[in-house]
Amino acid sequence: MALSAASGSMLRVCARQQLPTTSRAAIASCQQQRGVASSFDSPFGPASKESTYKIPDFSKYQSKKSPRSNQVFSYFMAGTMGLASAVGAKATVQDFLVNMSASADVLAQAKVEVGLGAIPEGKNVIIKWRGKPVFIRHRTQDEIDEANKIDVASLRDPQADEERVQDPKWLVMLGVCTHLGCVPIGEAGDFGGWFCPCHGSHYDISGRIRKGPAPLNLEVPSYSFPDDETMIIG
């Protein structure tokens, strides 16, 4: 302690001797004025009498209930609003999807049931399925034999008869010419099948193109036989 006090006083003496006279006078003046208020008082400093911030009084808005009951109310409201939003969103999405889905008449035409008992052997029936004509022919044994005796390799669109039918007695095809979409006439043409009068395409008894500009055989739609007397197209 004695050593540090001595060194401090020596430093002060050296400093006084080194400072010029004017500087020493200024320091003395400052030492005299210490403890007197400055001419500039910062409003943010500790000397400020009033705070520049005024906090409003919210006490009249404060809940008088206990914090626990406030919490329960908050959770209840959040849950209720969430539930209401979820129900609204579900209804909106559901409405949108119902709007986008196929209408009842389209769904009704998606599959068509045909009673086979009403179609005699050797006769054609035309039904409408998805806006297109569908030819159903109840073929005779002679017609089946004729369809099978063709050399498949010689055909423009090579396809064996057995590839085009599920039951040889029943030939099912879209009635749309594969040239430009006309509806061919049944039991007509050079091959005893169908004839398209628009540009002269001839289809045989299996619906295969044999003559004329059409490039492909008549298209076979998807169909099934749920029982011996019924066919479902689609």
Q: How far apart are CA 179 and CA 114, in angstroms?
A: 28
Query: Which residues are registered as beta bridge partners of 209?
Result: 203
Position 177 contacts ligand FES (CB under 6 A): yes
- Closest approach of ligand FES to the CB of residue 217, in Å: 13
Q: Report the alpha-carbon angle 123-125-127, nearest 5.
A: 175
Verify whether residue 138 is a known catalytic residue.
Answer: no
How many angstroms from the chain centroid is the CA of residue 50?
62
We find the least distance from the C-beta atom of residue 192 to ligand FES, in angstroms, to be: 18
The answer to the question of residue 188 lying near ligand FES (CB under 6 A) is no
* Least distance (Å) between residue 115 CB and ligand FES: 30
Binding-site member from 147, 165, 214, 233 for ligand FES (CB under 6 A): 214
Report the distance separating Cα 62 and Cα 192, nearest Å.
95
Nearest approach in angstroms of CB 178 to ligand FES is 8
Residues contacting ligand FES: total by CB under 6 A: 12
Q: Is 116 in the site for ligand FES (CB under 6 A)?
A: no
Residue 113, beta-bridge partner list: 232
Buried b (16+ CB within 10 A) or exposed e, 122-158: eebeebebeeeebbbbbbeeebbebbeebeeeebeee
Residue in 199, 216, 225, 230 binding ligand FES, rule: CB under 6 A: 199
Residue span binding ligand FES (CB under 6 A) among the ranges 87-95, 114-122, 146-154, 193-201: 193-201
Beta-carbon contacts of 75 under 8 Å, excluding residues fewer than 6 positions away, are none
User: Of 18-26, 160-168, 172-180, 226-234, which part binds ligand FES (CB under 6 A)?
Assistant: 172-180
Q: How far is CA 12 from CA 17, 23, 31, 161, 181, in A?
A: 9, 14, 15, 123, 116
**Residue 125 binds to ligand FES (criterion: CB under 6 A):** no
**Site stretch for ligand FES (CB under 6 A), options 46-54, 75-83, 137-145, 176-184:** 176-184
Q: Does residue 196 belong to the site contacting ligand FES (CB under 6 A)?
A: yes
Residues at the interface with ligand FES (CB under 6 A): 177, 179-182, 196, 198-199, 201, 212-214
